[in-house]
Structure 1
Amino acid sequence: MSGPGPSADSHVSPAGKSQEALEERYRMGSLLGSGGFGSIFSGTRLADSAPVTIKRMPRNLIQHWGELPDGARAPLEIVLLDKVSTGFPGVIQLLEWFELPSCFLLVMERPERCQDLRDFIAAWRFLPEEEARGLFRQVLEAVRHCSSCGVLHRDIKLANIIIDLDSGQLKLIDFGCGTFLQDTVYTQFAGTPSYSPPEWTYCKCYHGEAATIWSLGILLYQMVCGKHPFRRGRGIIRGQLKFPQGLSQECRDVISWCLSMRSLDMPSVEDLFYDPWLQDVHLP
């Protein structure tokens, strides 16, 4: 059973303003994780017992702000989540948020039984190619949705994708490194350094789509090989990719194409949708 989600034409509710408003609507559960961004808790919506995730972001740690459609000023992560929360199932939905004196609280959907892809793959060691093909196609759908909403995620990796263990549906989560999509180059990096594209290493700039494609190449390699292709920063040269025996040439070609050293040689997201390896994929 999936968690709650807004309808396709809905907008995220305006911010609640008090701890009491939060406690009237949700019960906070156990701590799921924490870091420089704040803390993530499990939670329950009291109205219907639906599971949710509650993210607590201390106000003093928020560096980037934006404006919501109603003109309200909010942390950029909330603004980006508001843009992608259109009911599309492959991206985590922001249900509600609360502005308190010391922090912001984001309430998001949570599938009843879910796991991030890092842990999911670790249980297998690596994924069978057919399994990886279906999951990778879902990730592409999520990336295309974000782009259509004018959002660049910037931190696509195994830990930021969860799988609903009952339905097989993937959801892209954690827009804390995200920004607005632009055609011009970015000169500030946000995300996970081991996923950064070669042009950031060499030129300290990158294009949004090319950086996304590079991270997708690493993601797919990790799915089918069970490890990072360029561990410890070594071997970021196209010819040094090593593939396990039994992996189809079509899959190898997709990975090598995404991990082209020159961004001009990379596919676009739409190119990947038409690649032979990604045709006739069963989706949940």
Structure 2
Amino acid sequence: MEGAGKDGNPLRNYRIGKTLGIGSFGKVKIAEHISTGHKVAIKILNRRKIRGMEMEEKVKREIKILRLFMHPHIIRLYEVIDTPADIYVVMEYVKSGELFDYIVEKGRLQEEEARRFFQQIISGVEYCHRNMVVHRDLKPENLLLDSKCNVKIADFGLSNVMRDGHFLKTSCGSPNYAAPEVISGKLYAGPEVDVWSCGVILYALLCGTLPFDDENIPNLFKKIKGGIYTLPSHLSGAARDLIPRMLVVDPMKRITIREIREHDWFKIHLPRYLTVPPPDSAQQVKKVDEETLREVIGMGYDKNLLVESIQNRLQNEATVAYYLLLDNRLRTTSGYLGAECQEAMDSSFSNIASYETPSSARGNRQQIFMESPVGLRPHFPAERKWALGLQSRAHPREIMTEVLKALQELNVYWKKIGHYNMKCRWSPGFPGQIHNSTFSAESIENDGLTEKLNIIKFEIQLYKTRDEKYLLDLQRVSGPQLLFLDLCAAFLAQLRVL
């Protein structure tokens, strides 16, 4: 992240306007990017508030992930400016408000309009999943509309960060959209919870009400856990088939994103640019728009440095200008929202492989490995499944017993934060001691000590998969990456049931 700059003003490249809103971590302001003249929204995240909620490392990690995203239906993050007091997150400005307000104003939508919104939402969610990110708080309040009524998914990893198994403690939103396995605290792998939330959103679009609603929270949870809701008679047969398949209580039997794409209701009038799954972020960085490149070079920036920065997803003044200009041009020409999007992309983009060196390409791929929120990942297959981490068919209790034995052998301090979730801290210099869940929470969270020593902070989470297996995931929170990989290798060698 960049600092404040020579003149001490962290937002020297922006003309700051009015406050758009106030969130749990700080304010959101509208601003104008001085060089390009385009409007942006700047989230000002107060470090003290984030630290007070014990969310600082999580916010940083999720910001790094979001910076990789380039999708027409996900809010674009252009720049992150880090200062001692605040984190400034410069994002795409969307002025037409929330989908929630749109539904409240219009009531239930006609199926054609609802389907258009739903197709865009599914495309954005699918892109997140292909890049190993689960939103976990999808709801109409987090779906924004641009001036052309196109959906923009927002607020994941920033103002609504959720920890596995901590929904009721950390979510700022309503549980009406939460999947049964989330409110029950059961094991879940991730993508299935987004499918459930999308099902609730689709119901709201088509019916103007929520499928699960009750002022009494225990009654609400009972309805969600039991999958108790009614389908209005005005729904078409295809819609009446799709919604119940998304609102299946058992996440292992719930319809997948791929199956939603293949559903007859979803495929009606599907725009051409949404007919194929979106490319992942690693593929997208290999393309550069020549027209936008020339425009940025004309502003005085070095061509080779700009191309290299785009290729390696580096943040600087030139890349911020590049992406602001590119996104605005594509929006005004319907470049990636029109029916001919695929052809437009192929003709207007040229491959920058000629600028790419083997080392830089490897560096970019390694960055994606290291910053994504799942550890121990050997490769990125072209068609990803959520079968990451260490797999086992053993009983969860047996797996966790072996995990604790391995942690003790490796002198890892740990603190239980759920039946299948724990925070851990390790350093090669720690003496062997007995480590258990009653170990001081302060020692696990002591960031000052972490900064001075080679200390690895990480989390362990056990998930359940569709094929009756369990996945053990190690997620680095802080500390040297290579040291973390060494620890993962030693940890793997200690396990006896996986």
Greater Rg, structure 1 or structure 2?
2
Counterpart residue number, 1:173: 154
Distance 1:226 1:158 in 2: 12
- Per the TM alignment, residue 237 of structure 1 is displaced from its structure 2 partner at its CA by 6.0
Deviation at 1:79, TM superposition (A): 1.4
Identify unmatched segments of 5+ residues in structure 2: 215-219, 272-336, 338-498
**Distance in 2 between residues matched to 1:60 and 1:281, nearest whole Å:** 48
Q: Is the 8 A contact 1:151 1:178 kept in 2?
A: no
Q: 2:402 — aligned with what?
A: none
Q: CA deviation at 1:279?
A: 0.8
Q: CA deviation at 1:238?
A: 6.1
SS in structure 1 of the partner of residue 203 of structure 2: helix
Q: Cα deviations across residues 201-253 of structure 1 (Å, max 9, x unaligned)?
A: 33444331111111111111111111221112153366642233321121122
Distance in 2 (alpha carbons) for counterparts of 1:226 and 1:20? 49
The CA distance in 1 between the partners of 2:207 and 2:32, in whole Å, is: 37
* Rounded Cα–Cα distance in structure 2 between residues aligned with 1:16 and 1:281: 47
Q: Which residue of 2 aligns with 1:261?
A: 249
Structure 2 counterpart of 1:275: 263
Residue 24 of structure 1 aligns to a residue in which SS?
A: coil
TM-score when scaled to structure 1?
0.82
- Describe the SS at the equivalent of 1:231: coil
Q: CA deviation at 1:77?
A: 3.2
Aligned in 2, Cα 1:92/1:105: closer, same or farther, shift over 3 Å?
same
Q: 1:200 to 1:282 in 2, by over 3 A?
A: closer
Deviation at 1:146, TM superposition (A): 0.8
Q: TM-score, normalised to structure 2's length?
A: 0.48
State the structure with bigger RCO (CA 8 A, min sep 6), 1 or 2: 1
Asked if structure 1 preserves the Cα contact closer than 8 Å seen for 2:20 and 2:29, the reply is yes
Please, which moves more after superposition, 168-177 or 44-53?
Answer: 168-177
CA contact (8 A) 2:41 2:91 kept: yes
Residue of structure 2 equivalent to 1:76: 61
Match of 1:57 in 2: 45
User: What does the per-residue CA deviation read over 1:59-86, in whole Å, with 9 as the maximum and x for residues that have no partner?
Assistant: 123334559xxxxxx71231121132xx
Task: Please point out which of 141, 155, 164 is paired with 2:137.
Answer: 155
- Offset, 1:151: 1.3
Among 215, 229, 240, the residue aligned to 2:197: 215
Gaps of 5+ in 1: 1-13, 68-73, 181-185
Q: Look up the match of 2:206.
A: 224
Contact in 1 for aligned 2:4/2:11 (Cα 8 Å): no
Bigger share in helix: 2
Which residue is 1:8 aligned to?
A: none
Do the aligned residues in 2 keep the contact of 1:230 with 1:236 (CA within 8 Å)?
A: yes
Q: C-alpha root-mean-square deviation of aligned residues, in Å?
A: 2.4
Q: Is 2:108 the partner of 1:126?
A: yes
Query: Residue 29 of structure 1 is aligned with which of 17, 30, 34?
Result: 17
Q: 1:169-248 counterparts in 2 under 5 A?
A: 169-175=150-156, 176=158, 177-178=160-161, 186-189=164-167, 191=171, 192=173, 193-232=175-214, 233=220, 235-236=223-224, 240-248=228-236
Amino acid at match of 1:173: A
Residue 11 of structure 1 is matched in structure 2 by none
Shift, 1:95, TM fit: 0.6
Q: Report which of the two has the higher share of strand.
A: 1
* Per-residue deviation, 1:24: 2.1
Q: Distance in 1 between matches of 2:261 and 2:226?
A: 22
Residue 3 of structure 2 corresponds to which residue in structure 1? 16
For the 8 Å contact 1:64–1:76, the answer to whether it is kept is no
Q: Deviations over 1:82-102 (max 9, x none)?
A: 132xx3211111111111121
Cα deviation per residue 1:151-208 (whole Å; 9 max; x = unaligned)?
Answer: 1111111011111232x3211111224579xxxxx43335432222112333444331
Aligned length: 256
Give the whole-Å Cα distance in 2 for the aligned partners of 1:276 and 1:98. 45
The whole-number CA distance in structure 2 between the counterparts of 1:209 and 1:149 is 11
